[in-house]
Structure 1
Amino acid sequence: MNGSAHSAPTVLDIKLKRGPAGLGFNIVGGVDQQYVMNDTGIYVAKIKENGAAAQDGRLQEGDKILAINGRKLENLSHSAAVELFRSAGEDVQLSVQQRSSLPQNGPASSRSDGESSPALGTWTLFTVFTLAVAAAGFFIYKRIQLRHRGPC
C-alpha cells in the first residue's frame, strides 16, 4: 500500500423548500460547458446567503447534483438542467455527491438555479478585454492630440 486512502464519495439526499429567491444556489456544468474536466455533471457553484440551501446547511459549493426529484442529471445541457430546477416545484428532493478535490475547468462565477447564460464567463472576459483596449486607445489618442496641438 502507498498510504493513501480512497473512499467512495458520500451521497446525500437533501430536501429543500423553494423560497422567494428559489432554492438559494447557483449551478454550473452540463454537456455544453463542462465545469470539471471529463465530467458533464451539474455542480453547485455558489450558495446564496440566507437562501433555502444555506438554511439547510448540507449543500456545499463544489457538490455534484446527481438527481432532482428522482430525475438524473446525466448528459444534460446547462439550460436543460436549469429548466429542471425551474420546474421542480416547491418541495425539491436532491441527490448530491459531496465535493471532492477534482480539478475545475469552469468559470468562477455562475448562473443561479433560475437563470441560464452558457457563455457568461467568456462574454464577461471578452467585454472587459474590449473595454480595456478601448480605454488604452482613447488614452493614446488624447496623448497624440496634445502633442500636435499648436500654440494657443
Structure 2
Amino acid sequence: MNGSLHSSSNVVSIELKRGPSGLGFNIVGGVDQQYVMNDSGIYVSKIKEDGAAALDGRLQEGDKIVAINGVQLENRTHRAVVELFRTAGEDVQLRVQKKLSRHMNGPTSPRPEQESAVSSLGILTVLAGAAALAVFFFMRHHRRHF
C-alpha cells in the first residue's frame, strides 16, 4: 500500500449497531483530503465517549476503514464516504485495518542509545509538525459526525 501506515494482515471485521448518536466516531481522509501522505484512505480521527464504537471497544483512533457493508472505500472522496455511512443502516459492517502498535515499528537491530534518542527526537518533531498540519486542515473543513 502506497505510504500506508498499516499492514494488510491487520484487517478485521467489526459490526456496530447504530446508537442514538450514530456510530460514535469521526473520520478523516479521502482522495480529496489525504490524511496520510500518499494514502487516500479513510481513518478514524476520534472515538466519542459512550458512542457505539467506544462501547464496542474494537475500533480505535488511527484505524483505517477499508470497507463499509462490503463497499470498498479506496479512491473515494470524503463526502462520498460520509454519504455511505449515512445510508449504511442500523447494523454496519466495517472492514478495518488496525493501526500498528508502537512495538512493531521498532528497530530490528541494536543501535547505540544516543543515536536512537536523536532519531526518536527527529521523528517526534516530524510527527508533531504533521499532526499540527493535520489539525489545521481538519479544522478548516467541516467536521463530520457519525
- Shorter chain as denominator, the TM-score bin is 0.5 to 0.7
**Counterpart Cα distance in 1 of 2:22 and 2:75:** 24
2:110 aligned partner: none
Contact 1:31–1:75 under 8 Å retained in 2: yes
Q: C-alpha deviations, 1:82-137, integer Å up to 9, x for none?
A: 0000000000000000013796676238xxxxxxxxx652369xxxxxxxxxxxxx
- Out of 126, 134, 137, the position equivalent to 1:107 is 134
**Structure 1 spans left out of the alignment, 5+ residues:** 1-6, 110-118, 125-152
**Counterpart Cα distance in 2 of 1:120 and 1:64:** 17
Contact 1:69–1:92 under 8 Å retained in 2: yes
Q: C-alpha deviations, 1:8-49, integer Å up to 9, x for none?
A: 541110000000110000000000000000000000000000
Q: Residues 37 and 26 from structure 1, CA distance in 2 versus in 1: closer, same or farther, beyond 3 angstroms?
A: same
Compute the displacement of 1:64 (Å).
Answer: 0.2
1:40 aligned partner: 40
- The amino acid that maps onto 1:122 is R
Q: Residues 120 and 64 from structure 1, CA distance in 2 versus in 1: closer, same or farther, beyond 3 angstroms?
A: closer
- The amino acid that maps onto 2:81 is A
1:146 aligned partner: none
Q: Percent identity?
A: 65
- The amino acid that maps onto 2:134 is P
Given the two structures, how large is their TM-score scaled by the length of structure 2?
0.67
**Counterpart Cα distance in 1 of 2:46 and 2:34:** 16
Matched residues, number:
109
2:140 aligned partner: 122
Given the two structures, how large is their TM-score scaled by the length of structure 1?
0.64
Secondary structure of the 2:62 match is coil
Give the helix-richer structure, 1 or 2. 2
Where in structure 1 do 4 or more consecutive aligned residues deviate above 6 Å?
none
Structure with the greater alpha carbon radius of gyration: 1
Cα RMSD (Å): 2.5
